[in-house]
Amino acid sequence: GDSVTQMEGPVTLSEEACLTINCTYTATGYPSLFWYVQYPGEGLQLLLKATKADDKGSNKGFEATYRKETTSFHLEKGSVQVSDSAVYFCALSTGNQFYFGTGTSLTVIP
């Protein structure tokens, strides 16, 4: 069935380090892909999305490219900040159901 698999955490990085959080998916058809972020004590909020192959979603310095050939949607940021500390969820929408990954906790230390 349809599913999302994302990199296990937790991830700890120093400020200004590069970030990659891997996400791969299994889906029939042409899903939309999302990254949601959950800051401490808050609800999930959309970080970025891509609705078709080769689309790149970007927001707040984060990017992710919808790669159909590798069924991936990896989240990247070139230089993380302490304020990026949060849990990141990869998600997939098939038009029939939403599927979320298990979340990856990121801690950025000064």
Q: Which residues contribute to the site for another protein (CB under 8 A)?
A: 30-32, 34, 36, 41-46, 49, 51, 89, 93-98, 100-103
Cβ nearer to another protein, comparing 76 with 99 = 99
Closest CA to 37 of 26, 24, 17, 21: 21
> Alpha-carbon distance 98 to 32, whole Å?
10
Question: DSSP labels for 41-80?
Answer: TS-EEEEEEE-STT-EEEETTEEEE-BTTTTB--EEESS-
Q: How far is the CB of 106 from another protein (least distance, A)?
A: 15
Cβ nearer to another protein, comparing 32 with 84 = 32
Q: How far is the CB of 41 from another protein (least distance, A)?
A: 8
Cβ nearer to another protein, comparing 14 with 97 = 97
Q: How far is the CB of 16 from another protein (least distance, A)?
A: 29
Q: Which two tokens stand for residue 68?
A: 């159909």
User: What backbone phi and psi angles, to 5 degrees, belong to 31?
Assistant: -75, 165
Is 49:107 a contact under the CB 8 Å cutoff? no
Q: How far is the CB of 34 from another protein (least distance, A)?
A: 8
Cβ nearer to another protein, comparing 58 with 98 = 98
